[in-house]
Structure 1
Amino acid sequence: MLSVTDFIASLPKAELHIHIEGSLEPEMMFALAQRNGVSLPYDSVEAIRAAYSFSNLQDFLDLYYQGMSVLREEQDFYDLTRAYLSRVAADGVKHVEVFFDPQAHTARGVAFETVLDGIHRALADGERQLGITAKLILCFLRHLPAEDALVTLEQAMDHRDRIVGVGLDSSENGYPPELFVEVFAKARAAGFRAVAHAGEEGPPAYVRGALEALQVDRIDHGNRALEDEALVAELAERQMPLTVCPLSNLRLCGVTDMKKHPLKTMLDKGLFVTLNSDDPSYFGGYVNDNYRAVQQALGLSDAVLAEIARNSFAASFLDDEAKAARIAEVDAYVNGG
């Protein structure tokens, strides 16, 4: 019989909440800075890693945007994405739905296509070489004006064959979903799927806004929805997927102790939960680290972990046939097949 750690290690799973820029490890950040002649306020990899200490979301975002300044050329985005895929292949990840933040790059003079081409080429190689399927989700930065998001959506229109959906990320407090109704409506009309960060730091009203105003297919995070019983009941009834990121919550002080993480409460209330890493290089763990952290802190059984893995495929933007095939892989693994 497998130990829990061994069970998690090879459990087939999908990751649905991963910011590709947030997988930029200090070693790669330092190497790309040297390759591209970018000056960083750190003189070593160790100094970069030592800076990864945050008291809230904004602390992290300040360093996150500074770090991505080393990403300049198509090859940089390729190398970043390919490194992430190699890492999660070792975690039993079979499918990924990757967020990217084009506005953070176009504002620095990097062309939209430079970013997209590098990431997409790596995703294609990852499927061919590692067997990991992938979808790409363009995220709008909510701290920037909605008009800027509309410009970015227009840039994406010619790439609907490579971008499956749109999302909303960055600073949450003070930037409710309702600010982005127009751009999300246009994106949905153009055939894009929709997701949004809500309820990470923002109030339950932001989760309801994402549901009603933006008409999303998934909620990214959603922790603070638990403060509104009617909202919880609606999320459970609709089986609205939540892409929960426990280590991120811990590192950003959304929870102070993993034993107090709301994941178990979410499960007990019938919510449709998945486990993800968010920004793994900054938050101290990839997807299996998140599975292990909640298992150890909350005492989750193998059966519950397997159900979360099934959820990750069921909540994905794969077609029904591909979902069924991946869920069958989970079942076969659980049954020792």
Structure 2
Amino acid sequence: MWQTGRYPHGVSYETMVDGFIDGLRRAKEELGITGRLIPAINRELGPEVAIAMVRDVLAHPREEVIGIGMDCAEFKGPPELFKDAYALARSAGLRCTAHACEDNQTLTQAPPRNVETCLDVLGCDRIDHGYNMLADPVLTCRCRERGVPFTVCSHTCVPQRMEKRAETLKAMHEAGLFLVPCTDDPPMFGTDIGTTYVTMARVLSLSVEEVAAMSLRTLDASWLSDAEKAAMKTEFEAEIQSLSMIKA
């Protein structure tokens, strides 16, 4: 049974988060990789557990923990149930995102209104996935005009869905939505960020210049500080220029 401060496997939040942070700091020192953490609510456990988890996060603040998210089956925990947990997180300055409108669920299970609820009720400033939202043209238009970032994945863990995912990504791109290529769970999906970009470039028929522009725009969707974003943009632009010279 879940208890505040201790999770099903008997490890406290504080122990878990510090272990992740040790890994992030080593990655920065040894590989130059910058990382941040977003604890995720398991919506299937219900709103009370979500509030308790957020309280754990706030009771043990860490510089590397910059927001909260939410995943698992939407029909087992629609977003409106978690309004209080998200309000608590926002009151402490954490950024907010949530999985919504995933295409491994039907329109009844993961309807477009879930994206609307995440934006208007939970206060999310980006959405993870969002594929089923295309069924609502008005909401799709609103998200385009508002510039809502959607973290999307080129791969799924079910090979039979790959063709459908490609069609959906193409439709999202044609709708002018702000797409941020991501890997989700690399071991489960059998991908990495390089493969994701190559796949999306092929699916969306993007030129090299368009892929470069997409990679730069993704920085706007990140929750890094303005100074960190500026530094990374300079690094990205230098790398893009270097690769362009090699190609030439």
User: TM-score by structure 1 length?
Assistant: 0.65
Query: Out of 188, 206, 211, which is 1:300 matched to?
Result: 206
- What's the CA shift for 1:259? 7.7
Contact 1:181 1:213 in 2 (8 A): yes
1:251 is matched with 158
Alignment of 1:2-151 (within 5 A): 106-151=7-52
Query: Out of 167, 170, 173, which is 2:69 matched to?
Result: 167
Change (3 A) 1:335 1:288: same
Residue-pair matches, total = 233
Structure 2 residue runs without a partner (length 5+): none
In structure 1, how many angstroms separate the alpha carbons of the residues matched to 2:46 and 2:170? 36
1:49 is matched with none
- What's the CA shift for 1:296? 2.9
Contact 2:47 2:85 in 1 (8 A): yes
2:149 is matched with 241
User: TM-score by structure 2 length?
Assistant: 0.87
Alignment of 1:312-327 (within 5 A): 312-327=218-233
In structure 2, how many angstroms separate the alpha carbons of the residues matched to 1:233 and 1:281? 34
2:241 is matched with 335
> Per-residue CA shift, 1:135-176, capped at 9, x if unaligned?
110100000111011111111113323311011111122421
Change (3 A) 1:259 1:139: closer
- What's the CA shift for 1:256? 4.3
Structure 1 residue runs without a partner (length 5+): 1-102
Higher relative contact order (CA 8 A, sep 6+): 1
Change (3 A) 1:278 1:252: farther
Contact 1:218 1:241 in 2 (8 A): yes
Matched letter for residue 219 of structure 1: I
In structure 1, how many angstroms separate the alpha carbons of the residues matched to 2:164 and 2:30? 36
Change (3 A) 1:252 1:181: farther
1:288 is matched with 194
Matched, 1:155 2:62: no
Matched letter for residue 251 of structure 1: V
Q: CA RMSD in A?
A: 2.1
Matched letter for residue 262 of structure 1: T
> Per-residue CA shift, 1:245-300, capped at 9, x if unaligned?
1202x6275x4416843223222222111111111101111111211222233322
In structure 2, how many angstroms separate the alpha carbons of the residues matched to 1:142 and 1:283? 22
